[in-house]
Structure 1
Amino acid sequence: MTEKIDTYENRILDNKKELRDDDDISFDELMDDLDDENIFSKYREQRMQEISDHLKTVKKNVNDNGYGDLIEVKNESELIKMSTNVPKIIIHFGLDTFAKCRYMDDKLKQLSRKYLNTKFVKVSVTLCPFLVEKLQIKTLPFVVGYIKGLEAGRLIGFSKLGNDPNGFPIENLEKFFLSTRVIESFSGTTIKQDARKIGSSGRYQRTADDEDASDSSLDI
Structure 2
Amino acid sequence: MANQMVQQQLGVAAKIIESQLDAELERLDNLNETDLDAIRRDRLVEMKKRSEKKRQWMDNGHGVYTELQDEKEFFEVTKKSENSVCHFYRDQFERCKIMDKHMEILSKKHVEAKFVKINAEKAPFLTERLKIRVLPTLCLVKNGKTCDYIVGFTDLGNKDDFSTEMLEWRIARADVIEYSGNLMEPPKSNGSTGRQQMAVKSKKTIRGRKDDSDDSDDSDY
1:156 is aligned to 2:161:
no
Larger radius of gyration: 2
1:180 is aligned to 2:174:
yes
1:215 is aligned to 2:209:
no
Structure with the larger RCO, 1 or 2 (CA within 8 Å, 6+ apart): 1
2-structure distance, mates of 1:163, 1:41: 52
1:113 is aligned to 2:108:
yes
Q: Give 1:101's aligned residue.
A: 96
Q: Give 2:39's aligned residue.
A: 43
Report if the CA contact (8 A) 1:88-1:118 is conserved.
yes
SS of alignment partner, residue 97 of structure 1: coil
Q: Give 1:142's aligned residue.
A: 137
TM-score (norm 2): 0.64
**What percent of counterpart residues are identical?**
31
Report if the CA contact (8 A) 1:90-1:119 is conserved.
yes
1:83 is aligned to 2:86:
no
Classify 1:175/1:189 alpha carbon distance in 2 versus 1 (closer, same or farther; 3 Å). Answer: closer
Report if the CA contact (8 A) 1:139-1:215 is conserved.
yes
Shift of residue 68, structure 1, vs aligned partner:
0.9
2-structure distance, mates of 1:96, 1:40: 57
1:171 is aligned to 2:165:
yes
Q: In the comparison of the two structures, how many residue pairs are matched?
A: 156
SS of alignment partner, residue 173 of structure 2: helix
Where does the alignment leave 5 or more consecutive residues of structure 1 unmatched?
1-38, 191-200, 203-212
2-structure distance, mates of 1:163, 1:76: 29
2-structure distance, mates of 1:158, 1:134: 22
Shift of residue 147, structure 1, vs aligned partner:
0.9
Shift of residue 41, structure 1, vs aligned partner:
4.1
Q: Give 2:63's aligned residue.
A: 68
1-structure distance, mates of 2:78, 2:95: 23
1-structure distance, mates of 2:55, 2:78: 21
TM-superposition CA deviations, 1:125-170 (whole Å, max 9, x none):
0111110000001100010111111222210000001142x23111
2-structure distance, mates of 1:61, 1:92: 19
2-structure distance, mates of 1:72, 1:51: 31
2-structure distance, mates of 1:154, 1:78: 19
Match of 1:141, as an amino acid? P
